[in-house]
Amino acid sequence: MNARRFVGKVMVVTGAAQGIGRGVALRAAAEGAKVLFVDRADFVAEVAAEATGADAAAFMADLETYEGAASTMDFAIKLFGRIDILVNGVGGAIRMRPYAEFEPAQIDAEIRRSLMPTLYTCHAVLPHMLAQGGGTIVNVSSNATRGIRRVPYSAAKGGVNAMTQSLAMEYGEHNIRVVAAAPGGTEAPPRRVPRNAAGDNEQEKVWMREAVTQVTESTFFKRYGTLDEQIAPILFLASDDAGYITGTVLPVAGGDNG
């Protein structure tokens, strides 16, 4: 890889221990960014140690709490002095089931996982971006804003899209860009941290397959995307190549626009 789009930039990536967040953080480091890998999984330090290129460090935080988000930004500022780019990778549907089958506490858990971390980190990073005269936020949304078997997750990501547009409008005059990528179903290696620690029973596996079928059939390619097909658009949005793009939610889902 020859691109060096992030030389001199400081990037904070949440959900960096695995999946899309991991890939974004490692590739940004390879392209010259100083990267803080943030996750609540302790192996995030091992992942940061894989980074080649510029400085990389790891920070453990639970971003479902405001303190987790604030301490992340404080740590990044102490370490690197500024935060040019924040990529919000934390999220992911915990359970797949018809909406009527969700228990109330399970609805709350989906919102806590896929909306609150992004709301909290955006709020916690803004004072730093305002003080330094600008910055870029890339939220990782989903095309599941229209999809079956995960209505609470759809609502959470719809919230992410709404805050992306409204924050962009509110802070554009401060030179802060806010954008989102909305991935479709993405092929990935087996997860070290499962979405649902309790695992799926036989009925839940059926509901999961129904969701996967709907997602696959909704693409024009009739296939999942690859991790690289998600990482590249996120890094484009994070880079200065996207300098006049803000408030945009970019579907990256093989023609399924969510």
Please report whether residue 63 would count as binding ligand NAD according to CB under 6 A: yes
Q: Residue 59 in contact with residue 72, Cβ under 8 Å?
A: yes
Residues from 93 through 122 that contact ligand NAD (CB under 6 A) = 113-114, 117
Contact pattern from residue 151 through residue 190 relative to ligand NAD, giving x for each residue in contact according to CB under 6 A and a dash for the rest? --------------------------------x-xx-x--
Q: Residue 182 in contact with residue 121, Cβ under 8 Å?
A: no
Q: Which stretch binds ligand NAD (CB under 6 A): 3-11, 12-20, 95-103, 240-248?
A: 12-20
Q: Which stretch binds ligand NAD (CB under 6 A): 86-94, 121-129, 165-173, 198-206?
A: 86-94
Q: Residue 59 in contact with residue 38, Cβ under 8 Å?
A: yes
Using CA atoms, how far apart are residues 151 and 98, in angstroms rounded to an integer? 8
Please report whether residue 135 would count as binding ligand NAD according to CB under 6 A: no
Please report whether residue 92 would count as binding ligand NAD according to CB under 6 A: yes
Cβ 210 to ligand NAD, closest distance in Å? 15
Question: Which lies closer to ligand NAD via its Cβ, residue 21 or residue 135?
Answer: 21
Q: Residue 231 in contact with residue 122, Cβ under 8 Å?
A: no
Among 9, 40, 150, 177, binds ligand NAD (CB under 6 A): 40
Using CA atoms, how far apart are residues 175 and 177, in angstroms rounded to an integer? 6
Among 193, 212, 232, 245, binds ligand NAD (CB under 6 A): 193
**Residue 153: active-site member:** yes
Please report whether residue 64 would count as binding ligand NAD according to CB under 6 A: yes
Q: Which stretch binds ligand NAD (CB under 6 A): 127-135, 169-177, 191-199, 231-239?
A: 191-199
Residue positions annotated with a catalytic role: 153
**Binding residues for ligand NAD (CB under 6 A):** 15, 17-21, 39-41, 61-64, 89-92, 113-114, 117, 140, 142, 183, 185-186, 188, 191, 193, 195
